[in-house]
Amino acid sequence: MRKLVLFIFVLCLGFFKAQDFRSYQFFDKKSKTISPEKVMKELADYDVVFIGEHHDNSINHWLEKKITEALFEKKKGQIILGAEMFERDNQQALNSYLAGKIDTKVLKDSVRLWKNYETDYRPLLDFAKDKKLKFIATNVPRKYASQTSKNGIESLNQLPDSEKNFIAKLPIEVTLETPGYKEMKSLMGDHVDEFKLMNFISAQAIKDATMAESIFNNLQAGNTFIHYNGDYHSKQYGGIYWYLKKKNPNLKIAVISVFESEKSELVLPEKDFVPTEFNLVIPSDMTKTY
């Protein structure tokens, strides 16, 4: 009987091993697996780290917090945080919260928070508050992106200077040579006319350019700026990365791109894949936060 129980136990171990319950896997630029420990060690040498995310993926957000905590330790506190999810005109309220001058309720009444703020972004903001770190609201206020999408990027020239301060310095270069924008055109080109298409792409561009400028203006020697953004804003070295490199080609920037996999072994895409410094693969069936 004992032999039978032992046999069943060993058989079960083999079954669970075969199932592979990994929740994430990192790959390097050569598409080779790399340990989280090595990723953290290498990230500490960069001026800027873009952490791409799928906004609704819980493991993605958990890893953002873990990466931030690890870099805080490795850099001895010399990190600056920033995020797409907070807009420039909300910086004052954000600073007041970080300084303990306003509570969570007042922050919610003062800032345009994403619907998954409590579960996904508050932990990052509270980490910055606890460690007395800068947290930069990098994105353009959404009303200007909406205006651009409807009326074109040239319409921003009519804004008063006080409002232009919330947008990257005009004029903003918009080119289809930027990775990502060409893809947007190919996906939408047959469905909208050229004018509407360029307005839509320009709305994306002012977000990317503004986030790049916000990061650039807050860089400090010896510090690593960690930026949280949707994967589309930095994948394939486009978006924010492209605009930031235009400002200073010598900046050492790492991009963490993210992919979802239906396979239990968590593999990179087989096609249409441009690897960045680090590539995170997460299960497609991971719990979604909304």
Tens digits of per-residue pLDDT, 87-130? 999 999 999 999 999 999 999 999 999 999 999 999 999 999 99
In this structure, is residue 148 part of a structural domain?
yes
183: domain CATH number is 3.40.50.11550
> One digit per residue, pLDDT tens: the chain, 290 residues?
555 444 444 444 444 454 567 899 999 999 999 999 999 999 999 999 999 999 999 999 999 999 999 999 999 999 999 999 999 999 999 999 999 999 999 999 999 999 999 999 999 999 999 999 999 999 999 999 999 999 999 999 999 999 999 999 999 999 988 888 888 877 776 666 777 889 999 999 999 999 999 999 999 999 999 999 999 999 999 999 999 999 999 999 999 999 999 998 999 998 888 999 999 999 999 988 88
Pairing of strands 25-28, 33-34: antiparallel
Residue 12 lies in a domain: no
Give Cα 195 to chain centroid, integer Å. Answer: 29
Residue 203 lies in a domain: yes
Phi then psi for residue 193, to 5 deg, are -75, 165
Q: What is the pLDDT of residue 183?
A: 80
Q: Within a domain: residue 7?
A: no
pLDDT 10s digits, 155-169: 999 999 999 999 999
- Looking at the domain assignment, is residue 204 inside a domain? yes
Give 234-250 pLDDT, tens digit per residue: 999 999 999 999 999 99
Say how many domains are in the chain: 1
Q: Which residues, listed in sequence order, are joined to residue 281 by a DSSP beta bridge? A: 25, 259
CA of 251: how far to CAs of 45, 245, 261, in Å?
11, 7, 32
Residue at 198 is within a domain = yes
pLDDT at 166: 98
Whether 290 maps to a domain, the answer reads no
Distance CA 277, CA 275 (A): 7
Determine contact, residues 140/88, Cβ cutoff 8 Å.
yes
Q: Which domain holds residue 127?
A: 21-283
What is the strand order of the sheet 48-53 is part of?
33-34, 25-28, 278-283, 253-261, 48-53, 224-230, 79-87, 135-139
**Which residue, chain included where needed, has tokens 């410094």?**
277
pLDDT at 10: 45
Name residue 173's amino acid: E
Q: Is residue 170 part of a domain?
A: yes
β-pairing, 79-87 with 135-139? Answer: parallel
Structure token pair of residue 39: 């990723």
